[in-house]
Amino acid sequence: MAALHLQHLRKRFGATLALDDASLKVERGTIHGLVGENGAGKSTLIKVLAGIHKADSGQVSIDGQVYSALSPRQVDALGVQFIHQERLLPASFTVGEALFFGHELRRGPFVDRRRQQREAERLLAEYFELQLPAGALVGELNSAERQVLQITRALIRQPKILVFDEPSVALVKREVDQLLRIVKRLRDQGLSILYISHYLQEIDSLCDEVTVLRNGRDVAVV
């Protein structure tokens, strides 16, 4: 049984057919790449999976359970987390505040910031062997550290499936190499990963299988 199976998705925006019978399958414990030119339908497909868009037809299967439509809250509850290049945490947040934003640790009715800072330092060291002061501000971090912070935020939710959407766009080569090592390690720990990228060298070095989208259709799985 596949971890994720998108089947025969169609989505039209006015005169534009963004998805035209597109399908994609991510096997358990693998890294599956998704490639295609701008306008091929990658973003629309991911937004259908995220529950942002409702497909006109087709279905999404997660762990064998079939859904004709999903809400973002359902997707989160089903264990699918997204790492976006564009999702920026407020620069004025501390690492601890950013890591638990939306899922704050509390002591009675109050946010327990000291506990958040302790937990942030522990989790970053445990997951990535990264010594990053939890009191540091997000705006003080480099691109790779902010990316690691996003990944750690996702891992706190104990996901089954991680979707990386163009995660390396803002990174330099050294940081990209670090990101690729992290993604491989997450796969080896049993996570199922969908990795979207324009950079074929990354796709070649990472992915077990790759789906190619063109004009809203899946034209190859290699």
Q: What does the pLDDT look like over 151-206, one tens digit per residue?
A: 999 998 899 999 999 988 878 888 888 889 999 999 999 999 999 999 999 999 99
**195 burial via Cβ count (<10 Å: 0-12, 13-18, 19+):** buried
pLDDT of amino acid 32? 98
From-to residues of CATH 3.40.50.300 in the chain: 1-79+159-222
Neighbouring C-beta atoms of residue 102, cutoff 10 Å: 5
pLDDT of amino acid 129? 78
Rounded CA separation 187/190 (Å): 5
Neighbouring C-beta atoms of residue 57, cutoff 10 Å: 13
Nearest CA among 19, 10, 33, 28 for reference residue 212: 33
Nearest CA among 55, 115, 46, 127 for reference residue 87: 46
pLDDT of amino acid 86? 54
Q: Is the pTM of this model over 0.75?
A: yes
Rounded CA separation 112/97 (Å): 10
Q: Are strands 65-67 and 57-62 parallel, antiparallel or unpaired?
A: antiparallel
Fold of 1-79+159-222: Rossmann fold (3.40.50)
Q: What are phi and psi of 47, to 5 degrees?
A: -70, -30
pLDDT of amino acid 144? 83
Crossing angle of helices 113-128 and 143-156, in 10° steps, is: 100
Rounded CA separation 31/13 (Å): 30
pLDDT of amino acid 100? 92
pLDDT of amino acid 145? 86
Give me the half-sphere count of Cα atoms (radius 13 Å) on the Cβ side of residue 88: 11
List the structure tokens of 124.
Answer: 């970053």
pLDDT of amino acid 12? 97
List the structure tokens of 69.
Answer: 């439509």
Residues of the chain with pLDDT under 70: 85-88
